[in-house]
Structure 1
Amino acid sequence: MRRNAFLGYLIAQFIVIISVMALFRGVEDRQVAATLAGILFVALPVVLMTWEYRRAELSQMLWFVVVMQFWTLFALPILGIRLANWGVPFEQLSFIGIPGPALHQWSSKSYMAMMAVTAWCWWKLSRKKS
């Protein structure tokens, strides 16, 4: 029986959340903590999509679409505007006219959607195997 990889992906997504909370508690400079968190949020989808593509190609297309939307619409733009505007408070930044704080709020919802779809794929594939 093959192991359901989506449980591992879900655990990795939880670990990133815990890591980001630890960064903001442990790193005194908020801009550095936010940048390190952004790097985690950019790297995680790339790693997960690469693993999943190598494992099963595009068999779970919905999962790929949801992960890709988080990565392209939120993780990359937020990290990009932070790096391109070093020293400027995040509240003053925007991406294509969307204020940084609003983008961040929507990114949280998008990340939760990514986790929900990951959990759904795990559940769906677990039922299929049993």
Structure 2
Amino acid sequence: MTEQQARSLRAVLVQGVDSLDDKTISTAPDACRRMRYTGGLIPNGTRINWDGKIKRAAVDLYDREDQDPDHAPNLWEDLEYKDGIRIIPEVITFGKAFSKNELGWRKDLLYRSKVDNNVYTPDQYPQNWETA
């Protein structure tokens, strides 16, 4: 395989990975791209492999060391799952809001969101959740 063919194949594979949902990609963090510090744009929502964990850009940012997850953690969101179901984090940003009927783990209990765009944990606003 020539270098050009390898680059073309990689571009197709990246497109395929980018089309996977968070639940599916959470099982294969090595399939995600890594930061290369090229200075290029990383669009909001881009997922990367960061030390074996998947991080998602919370805003448009740049592929620079000062904006990587270690140096600018507020620019990134963790994707965390248990048994293929998201773990409800301590702080739910709008980008990580739960949809109506979406399941989530919290303190070893499984909950179902009763509302769309749910940014509250079951502890903060129990009316938005029911045990599943």
Q: Which has a greater percent of strand?
A: 2
Q: Which has a greater percent of helix?
A: 1
Normalising by structure 2, we get a TM-score of: 0.31
Normalising by structure 1, we get a TM-score of: 0.32
